[in-house]
Structure 1
């Protein structure tokens, strides 16, 4: 179960970073948002 939560967090962080990158958000902002809350950032972008 821990592995599932870990990989879900990693995949959602990558997806959120990609969506932010496509919007033209600066890399520093992307990094700070995705590291702080990867799942929340993904939900916000979707």
Structure 2
């Protein structure tokens, strides 16, 4: 179960970082956001991309 939570967090952070990078967000901001709360950042980015389409 711990491994599942770990990899879910890692993959969420990577996906959120990619979405932020695609938007042109500076690397320092991406790092601070993704490290602080990777799953929340991913959810926020997914919501913002669905609203902008």
TM superposition score category, shorter chain reference: over 0.9
- TM-score, normalised with respect to structure 1: 0.99
List 4+ stretches of structure 1 deviating above 4 A.
none
Q: Decide which structure has the larger Cα Rg and report it.
A: 2
Gaps of 5+ in 1: none
Query: RMSD value over aligned CA atoms?
Result: 0.2
Structure ranking higher on relative contact order (CA contacts 8 Å, 6+ apart): 1
Name stretches of at least 5 consecutive residues in structure 2 with no aligned partner: 47-53
TM-score by length of 2: 0.86
Aligned pairs, how many?
46
